[in-house]
């Protein structure tokens, strides 16, 4: 698609992400708008909400220009559903939802249905399973035995997997269980098998009583939620250690300090908060939603200092924007609409924090950075509340105001104003660092079309390197091997201290930064605490206790290389290379005399393709053949070649999942839609035919588990093969904008 000069604000990466995920497409999948049309559509739609409050048309047009300006200048961006859906038929604009799950089959499956509706609309969902009776408890209506919360999580996970296949934004869930639930041991270990709950983040809700018992090394009580009775006691220290060990092992479960969250609940008389959205930054009451947006702090620097006048203007405009979204949103469920309108929560956050510090010459891991964080976020919070108060005078307070902590104090339009959310794709569009995270790399390899690899260099670093005379192509390539300049002797020390990456910073420094922002945030802060591969469980324990001490509301940790599928993200891994035995020659299995299988018809842009998959007598996949209807030439010959190579791989005991991962999603210029979703190429059709055959329950080749998410989010991007980094509770590919939260 041709982009006009108005697109010059956007880097090539940003344009690629916009085209792939946000710009309007016609029925053939062809992009029919550019970035300026996208932001004009959003600005016009969101500004129109002012008409219902009696503003004249000329004022609404002026407001539209303000909204358009802060987006096209990349000073502010709303959350992804607003970018995708504002001014379009779907019209669902919120990112975050929490649904209740009560202890009945009706409530559980109502929640499953509502989850599917929300995911289809582009939102993410959070749940607390703490109200469900434990495994083995009596079911009164049938006198049967309950299977417990973890078993019902499987239902939600499966529903999410089914819905996300056709979606433009992958559904994600947060599953939370209180630490005093009798099934807490099963919950903590629920993700020991990496093929389970791939559509969930899970977190344990830690109470103050539990944390005090950990500190005192005493027992704590387990309560049956059905009866409220004490059913057991456990050593708090042992449970805490189990949580720590599992977080060290693969990053989950996370933790939320649930009593601390409820201490800042703005409407305690309406209900208690039991859960958060998928990345943990947005605690919500049952049936609440929240729309989020982020200010690009990289744009808030002038003459080497924070431009607070500009920041004030953007905060005021952004808060008005987010409040308007509440009125224009097409909510997926009426109960959610009612609850959201009653409390009118918004979540204004930031991105580009690391970029701001670099422009100010302040190292991320310094006392000056902590002081700056508190100063900047306090200012945003104060100005955000001031704007909410102005809106309350214009439009009225939120309906539950009289039953809130604001009663008889300053009037507020919104029960909450601020949140620090992950900004994976938003920060790529804005061309800035993600959320409040440090740089993920100073230089990294970007994969582009046809296998070409480009070296991407942080623009601030590149300018300084050239200005100070140490820039070279060879140096940039060396930096890209690890992403860090920490061990580069030719780079001046002051530059090395300024351009620190996530793994150059100690976990305690990560938490200190999170806590600095949390002081002035209504909701919570999404941030990943990065550990090196050789970190110990004691290091994780220390971070959890430090986070509790500093007033954080939750913690997400990730130890480098701690999940089975991780591959290299920037270059050389920090994990020592294991000795690999000499490879023996693999002899493909011989074809038996008889073989069974099935043929599946797949529609592609090049014509119909018939894919035959056969199993041997032991039920193991053996071979794959293709036939291309009436088509011939290149398409047929390439399909035949793919079939032969797939057959050779299967007969050589390569897991089918790995083959599917290599072929699925490959695109060509002739794409098409079928009842089963989008077919992007003949290769994609073959992969999906093989995948559907696998879903019949094939044994595979016996060398690995059948995973539904293959190398989805732990290093190698499934869409472009580029580097994936953990940021703000999400995995983000900076090459193509792929994100996985959950």
Rounded to a whole number of angstroms, the CA Rg of the chain reads: 26
Is the dihedral angle over the CA atoms 571, 575, 581, 587 positive or is it negative?
negative
Is the dihedral angle over the CA atoms 40, 41, 42, 47 positive or is it negative?
positive
**Structure token digits, residue 698:** 């094939």
**Structure token digits, residue 112:** 């499953």
26: exposed, middle or buried (Cβ count in 10 Å: 0-12, 13-18, 19+): exposed
* Nearest alpha carbon to residue 465 among 441, 442, 446: 442
| Beta pairing partners, 76 | 295
Mapping DSSP to helix (H, G, I), strand (E, B) and coil, where does residue 593 land? coil
**Structure token digits, residue 17:** 């992400």
> CB 584: neighbour CB atoms within 10 A?
6
Indicate which residue of 277, 458, 530, 661 is catalytic. Answer: 277
* Nearest alpha carbon to residue 366 among 518, 512, 542, 520: 512
Alpha carbon distance 364, 244 (integer Å): 26
What are the CB-based long-range contacts (under 8 Å, 24+) for 537-541?
537/241, 537/244, 537/245, 537/248, 539/507, 540/244, 540/247, 540/248, 540/507, 541/240, 541/241, 541/244
- By DSSP bridging, strand 200-206 and strand 173-178 are parallel
**Structure token digits, residue 244:** 């720590």
> CB 186: neighbour CB atoms within 10 A?
16
600, 581 in Cβ contact below 8 A? no
State the SS3 of 134-147. CCCCEECCCCEECC
Alpha carbon distance 664, 687 (integer Å): 5
Q: Catalytic residue at 670?
A: no
Angle between helical axes of 353-360 and 367-395 (0-180°, round to 10):
120
Indicate which residue of 66, 85, 199, 279 is catalytic. Answer: 279
Distances (CA, A) of 48 to 33, 62, 63, 412, 496: 21, 11, 9, 22, 48
Helices (H), 99-146: 105-120
**Structure token digits, residue 252:** 């989950």
Buried b (16+ CB within 10 A) or exposed e, 545-583: bbbbeeebbbbbbbbbbbbeebeebbbebeeeeeeeeee
Q: Catalytic residue at 33?
A: no
Q: Catalytic residue at 65?
A: no
> CB 29: neighbour CB atoms within 10 A?
11
592: exposed, middle or buried (Cβ count in 10 Å: 0-12, 13-18, 19+): exposed
φ and ψ of 73, to 5 deg: -80, -5
Indicate which residue of 36, 64, 281, 725 is catalytic. Answer: 281
The alpha carbon of 691 is separated from its chain's Cα centroid by a whole number of angstroms, namely 25
For residue 434, what is the enclosing H or E element?
none
For residue 59, what is the enclosing H or E element?
helix 57-72
For the chain, how many residues are written? 742
- By DSSP bridging, strand 124-128 and strand 305-306 are unpaired
Catalytic residues: 277, 279, 281
């Amino acid at each position: 698609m041709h982009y006009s000069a108005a697109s010059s604000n956007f880097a090539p990466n940003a344009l690629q992400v916009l085209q792939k995920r946000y710009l309007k497409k016609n029925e053939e999948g062809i992009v029919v708008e550019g970035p300026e049309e996208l932001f004009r559509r959003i600005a016009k739609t969101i500004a129109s909400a002012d008409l219902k409050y009696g503003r004249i048309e000329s004022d609404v047009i002026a407001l539209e220009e303000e909204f358009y300006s802060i987006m096209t200048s990349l000073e502010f961006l709303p959350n992804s559903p607003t970018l995708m859906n504002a001014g379009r038929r779907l019209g669902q604009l919120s990112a975050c939802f929490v649904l209740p799950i009560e202890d009945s089959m009706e409530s559980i499956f109502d929640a499953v249905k509502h989850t599917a509706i929300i995911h289809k609309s582009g939102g993410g969902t959070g749940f607390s399973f703490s109200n469900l009776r434990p495994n083995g408890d009596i079911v009164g209506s049938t006198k049967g035995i309950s299977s417990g919360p973890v078993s019902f999580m499987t239902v939600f996970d499966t529903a999410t997997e089914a819905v996300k296949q056709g979606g433009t934004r992958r559904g994600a869930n947060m599953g939370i269980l209180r630490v005093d639930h009798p099934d807490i041991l099963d919950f903590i270990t629920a993700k020991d098998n990496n093929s389970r709950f791939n559509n969930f983040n899970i977190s344990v809700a830690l109470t103050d009583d539990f944390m005090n018992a950990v500190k005192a090394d005493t027992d704590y009580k387990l309560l049956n939620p059905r009866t409220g009775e004490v059913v057991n006691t456990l050593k708090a220290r042992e449970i805490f250690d189990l949580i720590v060990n599992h977080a060290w092992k693969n990053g989950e479960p996370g933790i939320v300090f649930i009593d601390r969250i409820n201490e800042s609940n703005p409407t305690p008389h309406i209900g208690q908060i039991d859960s958060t959205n998928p990345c943990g930054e947005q605690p919500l009451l049952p049936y609440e939603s929240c729309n989020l947006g982020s200010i690009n702090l990289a744009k808030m620097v002038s003459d080497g200092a924070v431009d607070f006048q500009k920041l004030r203007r953007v905060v005021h405009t952004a808060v008005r924007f987010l409040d308007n979204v509440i009125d224009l949103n097409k909510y997926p469920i009426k109960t959610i609409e009612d609850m959201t309108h009653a409390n009118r929560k918004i979540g204004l956050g930031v991105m580009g924090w690391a970029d701001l510090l670099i422009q100010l010459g302040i190292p991320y891991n310094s006392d000056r950075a902590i002081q700056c964080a508190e100063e900047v976020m306090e200012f945003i919070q104060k100005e955000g509340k001031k704007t909410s108060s102005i809106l309350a005078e214009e439009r009225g307070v939120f309906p539950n105001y009289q039953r809130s902590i604001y009663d008889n104090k300053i009037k507020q339009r919104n029960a909450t104003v601020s949140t620090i959310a992950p900004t994976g794709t938003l920060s790529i569009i804005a061309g800035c660092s993600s959320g409040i995270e440090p740089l993920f790399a100073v230089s990294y390899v970007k994969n582009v079309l046809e296998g070409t690899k480009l070296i991407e260099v942080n623009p601030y670093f590149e300018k300084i390197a050239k200005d100070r005379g140490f820039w070279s192509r060879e140096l940039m390539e060396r930096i890209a091997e690890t992403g860090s300049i920490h061990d580069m002797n030719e780079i001046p020390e002051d530059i090395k201290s300024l351009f620190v990456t996530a793994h150059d910073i100690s976990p305690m420094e990560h938490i200190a930064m999170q806590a600095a922002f949390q002081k002035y945030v209504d909701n919570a802060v999404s941030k990943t605490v990065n550990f090196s591969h050789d970190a110990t469980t004691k290091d994780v324990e220390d971070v959890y206790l430090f986070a509790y001490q500093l007033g954080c509301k939750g913690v997400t940790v990730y130890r480098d290389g701690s999940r089975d599928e991780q591959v290299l993200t920037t270059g050389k891994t920090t994990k020592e290379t294991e000795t690999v035995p000499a490879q023996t020659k693999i002899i493909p299995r011989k074809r038996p005399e008889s073989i069974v299988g099935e043929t599946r018809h797949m529609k592609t842009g090049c014509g119909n393709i018939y894919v035959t998959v056969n199993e041997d007598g032991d039920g193991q996949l053996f071979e794959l053949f293709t036939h291309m209807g009436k088509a011939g030439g290149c398409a047929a010959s390439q399909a035949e070649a793919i079939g032969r190579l797939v057959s050779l791989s299967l007969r050589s005991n390569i897991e089918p999942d790995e083959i599917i991962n290599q072929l699925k999603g490959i695109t060509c210029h002739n794409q098409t839609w079928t009842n089963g979703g989008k077919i992007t190429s003949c290769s994609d059709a073959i992969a999906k035919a093989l995948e559907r055959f696998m879903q019949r329950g094939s044994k595979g080749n016996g060398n690995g588990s059948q995973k539904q998410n293959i190398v989805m989010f732990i290093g190698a991007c499934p869409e472009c093969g580029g580097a994936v980094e953990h940021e703000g509770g999400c995995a983000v590919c900076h090459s193509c904008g792929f994100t996985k939260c959950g």
